[in-house]
Structure 1
Amino acid sequence: MPSIATVGRIGNAEGERKIVLEDLYVQRKWLGFFGGAVHGRKDFAAESAAVALSPEYSDADVSLVWKAADFSAKHLLAEVVNLDFSSITELRCPLIIFNGRHDYNVSSTVTAEWFERVKAPSKALVWFEHSGHEMMNEEPGRMLVALVQHARAAAVAVQVAQSPLASDTERSEGYYIAGNARAKLGEREDAERLFRAAVDADSKNAKALMNLGVLLYSSDRESEGISSLMLAAKRANDDPRLLIRIADVLDATGRTEMALPMRKRTVELLPAEPDAHIVYARALMNARMIEEAAAELQRAVELAPENGYAHVSLAQVLLLSERFDEAEAHAKRARELGQTEAEGVITQVEEWRALSSQGSSRPR
């Protein structure tokens, strides 16, 4: 094919070879023809027509668009295409990437891989599933929504926090967002100051209290950190997701008993969520409340009979109560559902049953 022969003559840009602009024009011509620039189209005719339709510009203005594009390409593109971001591993500003699923101008796959590696105060990778390189033209509605959701949110956080016109809740949220950004950069003093400002602006901001607690605890200010976490739980306003996060933090610090009331409240708020019952049951097991744990796991199995983890967890609890037949039945069901640890529980049931029949004590 002519296209293959033409592109073949310019070679590739692997290694240290600098990209030549004239070669790039040849490559982009055929890339566009095969839909790698604008998904599903062979040229930019639709974009050209859209420019001409805009009421803000006269015909004279429109005629300058392509001259301006050529000027920019000659003076900017040659430098831009030779930039290498692979060595950049950290940014000190929010990172937002709009990625066209069918973009081959700038590989969307390579972009996504780099996004996973780089660190930033906040990150967002927004996929445009029906776009190539021109998502602002191909999916303008999604583009606008994404800008509002991500770019605008990052831009106004501190501005809102410092605005005399903002409500207490708005200022608190602004300080909270800014505090998260500082914390992710490892700037602990600034993060603490901003989280405290968020709480001062709105004492009911449980998220700020929770993050402040985590920050203080990890800074070897254990007592202050735990106090902030417990206050966050009181201010969580029955938000189950927030209660779960606070309980997880307390569990991680070895304070399972403190987390237990939050786990219980989560189950009360999410009675139809099997995972809530399973997590609460695990906490009850750690507190040696075996019968209560069994009841929670039984409820989880009723809610999700195909959940292998619920079955094997129930089997383990029933085994502790020496209810061997029930434990074996649930362990076998867990094995049928693909739960790998079920086999070990079945073996344990057989061993403990044998010891019990001999009048021997089971292992503790």
Structure 2
Amino acid sequence: MPDTQTTNNKPQTSTSAMNFNVNDLVRKNVKQLVPYSSARDEFSGEAKVFLDANENSLGSPTTKWYNRYPDPHQLKIKEKLSAIKGVQPKHIFLGNGSDECIDILFRAFCNPGKDNVIICPPTYGMYEVSAHINDVELRKVPLLENFQLDLVHMETRVDDFTKLIWLCSPNNPTANSLHREDIEAVLNNFPGIVVIDEAYINFSRQRSFVQELAEYPNLVVLHTLSKAWGLAGLRLGMAFAGEDIIDICNKIKPPYNIGQATQDLVLKALDQVDDVNEMIRILVKERDAMAEQLLSVAVVEQVYPSDANFLLVKVGDAKAVYRALLDKGIVVRDRSNVQLCEGCLRITVGSPAENTALVNSLKDFGAAL
């Protein structure tokens, strides 16, 4: 990261982010791109007869509700999200899951075969997959043993062709939040775009970086409705950023990337904030209770602190434990082959009954040894 000085193994922050100019980063072909103009882009307002988009005006034998194209800009959803998240709609991009947001950021800012990005493993696997799909060099800066950023190593890996740094906080699969001051150091010193994936932020006491968009023009924050909102099947992800970055994402996305059925259901869900907050409270309570119960299980060696809706659990012979749970019809995630997660299982917090079944199955496995 340019213009940094290290003291006590931590880079001191500078103000290079204040000189950030997205036009210096965006790919030339994207900058020159004339986006597709759909029928719904050329018309707004109310009408009785729609004969502009070559839709089937008779509807479908299955349903009469979805024969029309959806709002390509998802304005009603963004208005509701604006009130919930405290940011203006112009700072919101909606994707078909966060994975679409991730892919679009690669396509917007990384020239294939030329540019590079940085990830900090162990972390969410789609950053690496998207890099390979887009033919972008991937530079890995592993987390430290305490699952925090190695800023000194990161500084050595950044060069003039580094366009994106991907940070996941709370992190998957380690479940911890990254130190806020370390993230701020990256934001202040890196002249490219810093993406903070906050998919699990609702289960944490940490403050979201969404409120920092005005301070950091190089910041992109990812959220999702898949976790706390319980809508994984609808596939709706959110990117929050400065208006210039959002405009670029909108140029690239397919015209109707969020279907009408998803928009309808999401609009209903966004009216249920109180219910979602109560569900989060229950899941966090269950998470903490399960963590305590697991510590009394013989095969469990360590339960790592969690700011997410899952636990990273170190066990003796992770693969054998994984198979034993499968035999009981319980599916967890074997992370024992992942760097820094050797011997670990990632266990999602379930319902009270599911959590009890898991703990009892682990006790049975230990008793059988």
TM category (shorter chain) comes to under 0.3
Normalised by the length of structure 2, the TM-score is 0.25
TM-score, scaled relative to structure 1: 0.25
Higher RCO by CA contacts (8 Å cutoff, separation 6 or greater): 2
Select the structure that is richer in helix: 1
Larger strand proportion of the pair: 2
